[in-house]
Structures are given as structure tokens and as C-alpha cells.
Amino acid sequence: MSGKFTEIWVYLSATPLLGLTVTLLAYQAAFWLYRKAGMHPLANPVAISVSVLVALLWFTDTPYATYFEGAQFVHFLLGPATVALAVPLYANLDTLKKNLLPLGGALLAGSLTAAVSAVGIGWLLGASRETLLSLAPKSVTTPIAMGVAEKLGGLPSLTAVLVVSTGILGAVLARGTLNLLRIDDHAVRGFAVGVAAHGIGTARAFQVSETMGAFAGLAMGLNGLATAFLFPLLAGVLRGA
Amino acid sequence: MGRGGCFADCYDAAMLGAITLLLVFQLIGEALVLLVGLPVPGAVVGMGFLFVALVLRGEAPAWLRNTCQELLSHLSLLFVPAGVGVMLHFKRLGAEWLPIAVALVASTVITIAVAALVMKWLRR
């Protein structure tokens, strides 16, 4: 009986089907828990599903590469999802035109603050050069951040982890931070979360309100564009230093 | 060609069309990046092109809006495979956990605060 089970396991664990299925199952279980917890920011579904999957792979002694053969189909959708950001961006065209100065100012300030503060704090506390370069683009959505990290000379796979961690932290810490600053305009709240915590922050914002989500999506898209174009230019300056 | 008053296969075809459109724009973006040697991911260029196309067209059709909304509402799922990659970096994270943790937490809070305060101040 257990011999047969091992045989089936060996076969299935080598096909992409298993990695893909456990990813979807883990996420939906995590999302169910998140709903049960009244969408409390601490019950973040990405954090829960990543922990569950890492534990599962650890206990079954499955290498990440084997898991990723299946999970890549989910990961691949980040590309079309990035293109799809054009739609909420277009839906907010009027807001964008009317608020060019506040949105542009907040975008530039937020984008630079994210990179400079992360790299600065990491450097002060003695992080290695590779870690610092991987930290710089941590506030933009994964495919953009990984591309930028590669151009800068960081480790794209480490950047992916730092990006996801940042997103989770942003989704968890935004409410407290913004309440402390007494900012109650949902447009401002959403934009700040989108600049700091990309897609995971945006997903969280959409669960709070439509306005907050739209502004977060707008900020995520604009920050992605700004970072993709500005950082490789800054990279030259960084390398010179 | 909206969702209302439409048979299931009509909606399916709309979704298929929207996904094809997104992939075509991404492909154009990737090709251009390779061709010109731009320092930007292809998907970002694709997003830029789709945005310009929508501005020129003057509206985003419902079939495209529905699919994009559906795709973006599951955005956090798409980050899970990359997040599981944390297991590749346990050694580095173990050695540098303090600078990384402090940098991530502090920088995230500071960024949210700066972006919110600048936007609020400029909106006056």
C-alpha cells in the first residue's frame, strides 16, 4: 500500500500539475481564512499561502525548481496582468489629468523614498552589496522589480522575495500608519499604499473600497513605469559611487 | 458585447479575445525591448501601448474591462510562486536578517507616510 503511494507520489511530484494545483489550493485556503478573519491585514493571504507552501516543500523534500515547473503558469500571468493595468489607468484618466501635480509629486517622492530609505538603512546596518542592489526596486511589482534588479546587478530571485515581503508589510502596516497621520481621504490612502506596496497593497486596497483600489492601481502602474525608466539611469550614478 | 443578455459562449469568446489582446500587447512590448535594447521590461512597454491605444480609441470596451478586472482581482495570487522562492535564500536571509527586516519595515512605513503627506499637501 505504502509502496504504491510512494510510486504515485514520485510520479506526480515530477509533473507540473502538482505544483500548480497546490498553489491554487493553498491560496484559496488562505483567502478563506482571510475572509473568516474579517479581512484583517494580519491574516494576509499571500503570507499565509507562501508559509504553507514553503512548509509543504520542506517536509516533502521537494526542490523549488520542481515546484516552480508547475507554479510558473501562475507566475507567467504577472506579465499580462501588468499589461492589464492600462485599463484601470485609463479609467482614471480624468483624475490623472486633474491631479497631475499632486499625483506626480507623490509618485516621485514615494518612489525615491522607497529606494533610498531601504538601501540607506540596509547599508547602515551592514547589508552586503548584492542585498542592497536587490532591495532598491522592492516597492514595484515583481516583473518590473526583477528586471530592474538584474540591470542594477542584484539578484532577481532575492528581489522577488523582497518585493513580496514589502507588499505584505505594506498591506499589514498601511492602516495603522495612515490612521496615525490622520489621513482619511481614500484617494490619498490608496495612492500611498500603491506606491509603497504595489500589487499586494493594491489587492488589499480594493478590498477596502473601490476608490482606494483605483488609486492604488494607478500608483502601482505609474510607479512601475517611473522605476523602470528612472532606475537604470540612477544605476549609472550608483555604480560610479 | 457585455455580460448582460449574452450566452455563456459569447462571454467566453470575449474573455478569450481580451486575453489574446493582452498577450499581443505584451509580445509587441517584449519584441520592441529586444529590438531597441530598452532597459525596461516588455510588459511595461505593452502596458504603455495599450494605454495609448485606449486613449486614441476614446473608451475601454466592456469585454476588455471585465477580463482585466477579473485578472487584477486575483493579483495577489500571482505573487505566491515568487514568494515561495524565499526558500532559495534562507542562508542569506539568516545571515542578513537584521538589516533586511529593519530596511523593509522602516522603508515601507516611511514610503507610505511620505507619499500620503506629499499628495495631501500638493492637493491643497
Q: Closest partner residue to B87 among A24, A57, A143, by Cβ?
A: A57
How many angstroms separate the CA of residue A77 from the nearest CA in chain B?
7
Q: Tell me: pLDDT of B74 over 90.
A: no
CB burial readout A32-47, b (16+ within 10 A) else e? eebeeeeeebebbbbb
Q: Tell me: pLDDT of A129 over 50.
A: yes
* Structure confidence at residue B12 (pLDDT): 60
Interchain pair B88, A157: CB under 8 A: yes
**A contact residues 3-22, partner B, Cβ 8 Å cutoff:** none
* Structure confidence at residue A96 (pLDDT): 81
Q: Which three cell numbers stand for residue B118?
A: 506629499
Tens digit of pLDDT for each residue in A149-171? 877 888 888 998 999 999 999 99
Interchain pair B79, A126: CB under 8 A: no
pLDDT > 90 fraction of chain B, expressed in percent and rounded: 64
pTM of the model: 0.84
Interchain pair A90, B55: CB under 8 A: yes
State the ipTM, two decimals.
Answer: 0.85
Q: Which three cell numbers stand for residue B10?
A: 459569447
Contacts of A26 in chain B (CB under 8 A): 80
Contact B54, A96 (CB under 8 A): no
